[in-house]
Amino acid sequence: MATYSATALLNTGAKIPLVGLGTWQSKPNEVYEAVLTAIKAGYRHIDTAWIYGNEKEVGQAIKDSGVDRQSLFVTTKLWNNAHNPEDVEKALEVSLKNLQMEYLDLWLMHWPVAFKSGDKPVPKNADGKVELAPVDYVDTYAAMEKVVGDRVRAIGVSNFTVGKLQRLLKSASVVPAANQVELHPYLPQNELIDFCKQNKIHVTAYSPLGSTSGPVQKEPIIVDLAKKYNVEPAQVLISWAYKRGTSVLPKSVTPSRIVNNFKEVPLTAEDVANIDAIGLNKPPQRVVDPSESWGSDIYDSGAKL
Ligand SMILES: NC(=O)c1ccc[n+]([C@@H]2O[C@H](COP(=O)([O-])OP(=O)(O)OC[C@H]3O[C@@H](n4cnc5c(N)ncnc54)[C@H](OP(=O)(O)O)[C@@H]3O)[C@@H](O)[C@H]2O)c1
């Protein structure tokens, strides 16, 4: 079975490998081995974030992998407590130091939500409510634009809806290279993908396996296709995302899964259409939605998903 090799072209002219290793909830002691296993299996794209608390181990594994930095595509993300424009460059320096890297291939604004600045990743008031800051993501993005160059090859966003992208594009001088969002057959986000295509914003699929709860892996069509090709349901989901031209970030710390997840399933056009149909027959379902706990209307409730 062939492994994934295709890339997509970003609006910067750089290439992003379509299948990358996700590392959210990969504990520091597990992630080092996971990244090494992935690179050995052929992955050339690794996704991390400051808030995952594992940038150091991810960077160390990349360094120890023996594969040169130019051949790899590394993404990390600016956390919500560093949205104040004055904090942005400092946050970049911390991530670069953690990763032991001279540059990032892609730096994303993790969420369109600003927390109070400071050392606490999730600052809370006496009532236990998350403390937000009156910083507009448009201003945070403008500060990110200023660091594009030798240390940051491309900037982008994550968890942005069509409405928020439209608002951002009105003032942005650098079109985001990517928007990283939750995508799987229960949340296909066709409208968002179309909008991004029209605006030359690459889309990356996160939680492609439905994250840790993984209900989509048990969907009958996915299970049947896995049987048909003698593969794991997760592999079918990854190949579907790949066929759509999005990049996709399956997370695993299990060596056999890391290896299998990088093997392409030769889905036919009919298979892809059958998987597409899952989303047409069900209301969209998100697995990652901190809107309520953060007290922020992240997904523009009332607007279409
Ligand atoms: N930008 C954002 O806000 C955001 C949000 C969420 C995620 N992400 C990114 O996207 C990545 C992926 O999303 P995710 O971590 O939420 O979830 P995911 O990749 O959809 O699913 C991960 C879960 O699936 C399991 N798994 C992996 N391969 C499998 C296989 N072949 N068969 C069965 N189970 C399998 C993993 O278990 P084991 O690890 O135990 O093998 C883990 O429990 C993240 O790691 C992160 O890099 C970004």
**Residue pair 202/160 in contact by the 8 Å Cβ criterion:** no
Domain with residue 41: its CATH number is 3.20.20.100
C-alpha 221/C-alpha 219 separation (Å) is 6
User: Does 260 fall in a domain?
Assistant: yes
User: Does 297 fall in a domain?
Assistant: no
C-alpha 192/C-alpha 198 separation (Å) is 10
Q: How many CB atoms lie within 10 A of CB 166?
A: 12
Distance 22 CA to ligand 1 centre (A): 6
Closest C-alpha among 45, 77, 79 to residue 62: 45
C-alpha 198/C-alpha 158 separation (Å) is 18
Closest C-alpha among 146, 150, 202, 147 to residue 176: 202
Eight-state DSSP code of residue 283: -
Of 4, 32, 43, 52, the catalytic one is: 52
302, pLDDT greater than 80: no
- CB neighbour list of residue 13: distance below 8 Å, 6 or more residues apart: none
Closest C-alpha among 206, 280, 292 to residue 249: 206
User: Does 291 fall in a domain?
Assistant: no
206 is an active site residue = no
Atom of ligand 1 nearest to the CA of 184: 20
Atom of ligand 1 nearest to the CA of 158: 1
**Residue pair 180/206 in contact by the 8 Å Cβ criterion:** yes
83 is in an annotated binding site: no
User: Does 163 fall in a domain?
Assistant: yes
Domain range holding 263? Answer: 7-283
304, pLDDT greater than 50: no
User: Does 304 fall in a domain?
Assistant: no
User: Does 290 fall in a domain?
Assistant: no
User: Does 288 fall in a domain?
Assistant: no
- At 27-70, the pLDDT tens digits run 988 999 999 999 999 999 999 999 999 999 999 999 999 999 99
User: Does 117 fall in a domain?
Assistant: yes
pLDDT at position 294 is 97
- At 15-39, the pLDDT tens digits run 999 999 999 999 988 999 999 999 9
pLDDT bin (cut points 50, 70, 90) of residue 301 is confident
- CB neighbour list of residue 120: distance below 8 Å, 6 or more residues apart: 81
Number of independent structural domains in the chain: 1
